[in-house]
Amino acid sequence: MWLPLTLLTATAAPILANPLTSPLNKRAAIDDCLKSAGVPADAQGSSDWRADVNPFNQRLPYTPVAIAVPTTIEHIQGAVSCAAKLGIKVTPKSGGHSYASFGLGGENGHLVVELDRMSKVTLDSTTNIADVQAGARLGHVATELYKQGQRAFSHGTCPGYVFEGNRVGVGGHSLHGGFGFSSHTYGLAADWIAAATVVLANSTVVTASPTENPDLFWALRGAGSNFGIVASFKFNTFAAPSQVTAFQINLPWNSASSIASGWGKLQDWLAAGNMPKEMNMRVFGSPSQTQLQGLYHGSSSALRTAVQPLLSTLGASLSNAQQYDWMGAFTYYTYGGTVDVTHPYNTVETFYSKSLVTTALPSAALNSVANYWINTAKRVSRDWFIIIDMHGGPKSAITSSTTNSANYTSSYAYRAPEYLFLYELYDRVIFGSYPSNGFSFLDGWVKSFTDNMKQEQWGMYINYADPTMKRAEAVGNYYRSSLSRLQKVKAQYDPNEVFYYPQSVEPAK
């Protein structure tokens, strides 16, 4: 019998009443409850346990009190009910790719609900709406949609920065935005969510859509880890392009002055609406190179025509342009590796990362960032990179109000066209531990932006979570103008913070 909502709301404490104090007692109690409820779970110390608890970011390992491994929505309900009764915090884990190990709770002692055994993808050939279980990984989703009907929806790069993004789970990715090499053309992954089936803190199941629980639907699409466990999505889809072209442009950014000048020209070009809607692009900077990399939704000949004005503006050259079909582009980004990945997840790194979302940089910020790039970053010997995605502008589908307006009633905070850039700053070590004195490198680089900008000119992106921020600072930076409403939705659906993690939204008082 599911726990009634009145019992869940009887206390305002972040952890429910009468928690078991001993970790061993909690473990025994949750194991017994899960077994009684018929919820599959990893045995402590088993190969499945070791695989499921192994964090993508090896710098941040955490130990759950238990790992539930549902294969049905009833299993998810049972897991949530058990944890709520015992005062144990609940964390859903879709792909396990959180930079802050939030899929493991971001701290010890959570009940982790490992969703990756729920990965079915079914396309309705009449409506072209896809039913996607929340444990599916992006590469698997893309493969199945193409196989079943040559359809797609916009989502993150497969594979992305570590050439393993096909293993990213659809759950956390789409619920917090979901940017990628289709976003300028088709928007965020969150924009393609038509509905979600959600297990709430009282273990009941609801549908969130524009017409059912619309406040929850709004909140899920941008801050979805805070309100329940999404068991499955319905995604709208588009016809997969028959031709796309991957390209690189070498940038002559070899000095602070050339970076500041070139970046200034690039942001003016983007803000003026000169970037074609079909073009998706980012700056990629590392110790050895600085390039524009992109995916053009069209033929290689069309790309060459479209990109020529930018090349002239930047004094740059097109170094590569390769045309593919839709799935061929996915294989390109995996360097020929496996795209269709389900369970288990087996890619790990050791790193520290930060994010930003900004408007056009004022001259003081351009100069500060460029000087830091040349005089500090270039002297760091670790394997770092910076990605500067072309996020906004007048023709971006993320910010355009001319596309289906329902897509833009979401809690994702950066819809104004002025939010031109989305940044990922990433510093990793290939062997050994991340150095204790390494954090100041990216912290300083971010400060070179923010110290020279107004607060309303920048924010941060939770899919590149930075766990060094305190809770209030983090949610303020991630959610900006959406935060107050998110806190009210949190108070309605999870007032006792069953779905708590160190940077979760706090319910309104």
What does the pLDDT average to over 440-458?
99
pLDDT at 330: 86
pLDDT at 508: 98
Q: Which residues pair with 67 in a beta bridge?
A: 112
pTM of the predicted model as reported, rounded to 2 decimal places: 0.93
More confident residue, 5 or 207: 207
What does the pLDDT average to over 412-422?
97
Instruction: For residue 483, give the nearest of 460, 466, 457, 506 by alpha carbon.
Output: 506
pLDDT at 21: 60
Of 3.20.20.70, 3.40.1030.10, 3.30.70.520, 3.40.462.20, which CATH number belongs to 244-324+349-467? 3.40.462.20
Torsion of CA 270, 276, 279, 284, to 10 degrees: -20
Is the pLDDT at 345 greater than 80? The verdict is no
More confident residue, 131 or 341: 131
With beta carbons less than 8 A apart as the criterion, state whether 370 and 256 touch: yes
Is the pLDDT at 334 greater than 90? The verdict is no
pLDDT at 11: 36
What does the pLDDT average to over 216-237?
98
Is the pLDDT at 210 greater than 70? The verdict is yes
Torsion of CA 489, 493, 497, 503, to 10 degrees: -40
CA–CA gap between residue 460 and residue 102 (Å, rounded) = 16
3-class SS at 19? coil
Q: Would you state the structure tokens that stand for residue 213, as one six-digit string?
A: 């629980």
Question: Where exactly are the structural domains of the chain?
Answer: 5-115, 121-239, 244-324+349-467
For residue 217, how many C-alpha atoms fall within 13 Å in the half-sphere facing its CB?
22
pLDDT tens profile 69-93 = 999 999 999 999 999 999 999 999 9
With beta carbons less than 8 A apart as the criterion, state whether 172 and 95 touch: yes
pLDDT at 429: 97
Is the pLDDT at 222 greater than 80? The verdict is yes
User: 5-115, what's its fold?
Assistant: 3.30.43
pLDDT at 477: 99
Range with the poorest average pLDDT among 5-19, 141-155, 278-292, 383-397:
5-19
What does the pLDDT average to over 399-419?
75
Is the pLDDT at 161 greater than 60? The verdict is no
What does the pLDDT average to over 316-341?
88
pLDDT at 166: 55
Angle at 478 between CA 216 and CA 463, to 5 degrees: 85
Is the pLDDT at 405 greater than 60? The verdict is no
With beta carbons less than 8 A apart as the criterion, state whether 498 and 229 touch: no
pLDDT band at 341 (very low <50, low <70, confident <90, very high): confident
What does the pLDDT average to over 299-327?
97
What Å distances lie between residue 106 and 23, 90, 507, CA to CA?
A: 17, 11, 19
pLDDT at 20: 59
What does the pLDDT average to over 283-289?
96
What does the pLDDT average to over 462-473?
98
CA–CA gap between residue 146 and residue 140 (Å, rounded) = 10
DSSP 135-198: T-BHHHHHHHHHHHHSEE-----SSTTTT-GGGSBHHHHHHT----TTHHHH--GGGGEEEEEE
With beta carbons less than 8 A apart as the criterion, state whether 68 and 79 touch: yes
CA–CA gap between residue 17 and residue 15 (Å, rounded) = 7
Q: What's the distance, Cα to Cα, between the start and end of the chain in Å? A: 30
What does the pLDDT average to over 45-57?
96
User: Burial code of 326-355, b = ≥16 C-beta within 10 A, e = fewer?
Assistant: bbebbbbbbeeeebebebebebebbbbbbb
pLDDT tens profile 63-72 = 999 999 999 9
pLDDT tens profile 358-395 = 999 999 999 999 999 999 999 999 999 999 999 999 99
What Å distances lie between residue 32 and 29, 38, 40, 91, 499, CA to CA?
A: 5, 10, 11, 19, 21
Is the pLDDT at 1 greater than 60? The verdict is no
pLDDT band at 5 (very low <50, low <70, confident <90, very high): very low
pLDDT at 171: 96
* CATH node for 121-239: 3.30.465.10
DSSP type of residue 499: T
Range with the poorest average pLDDT among 14-18, 295-299, 319-323, 441-445:
14-18
